[in-house]
Amino acid sequence: MKKALIFACLIILISNNFAQQAGTSTQVDPSYFITHTREELMVKLADLPCGIKTDDPINVILQKLDTWLTAFTPKPEYSDDVYA
């Protein structure tokens, strides 16, 4: 009886692990979240959809970020946007 219970628990754990792996289709390289220089940061900020240019001064960058975040409305298909 103990062996059957342990075997059942093992199958449940393994199947849950595979189910979680199957759901992740895109992964970001963890090194993307580390920024060493201002140039790297400016490239990442320019990739945002708020109109930042790499030669913008700090006060303009902050204003553009503030305007974009204030106007941001979550999309229903992305349920976790509400928490962002």
pLDDT of 63 > 80? The answer is yes
- Which residue has better confidence, 49 or 24? 49
Q: What is 27-46 written as a DSSP string? A: ---GGGG---SHHHHHHHHH
pTM of the entire predicted model: 0.55
User: Is the model's pLDDT at 62 over the cut of 90?
Assistant: yes
C-alpha 30/C-alpha 35 separation (Å) is: 11
pLDDT digits (tens, 9 = 90+) for 1-24: 667 667 666 667 676 555 555 555
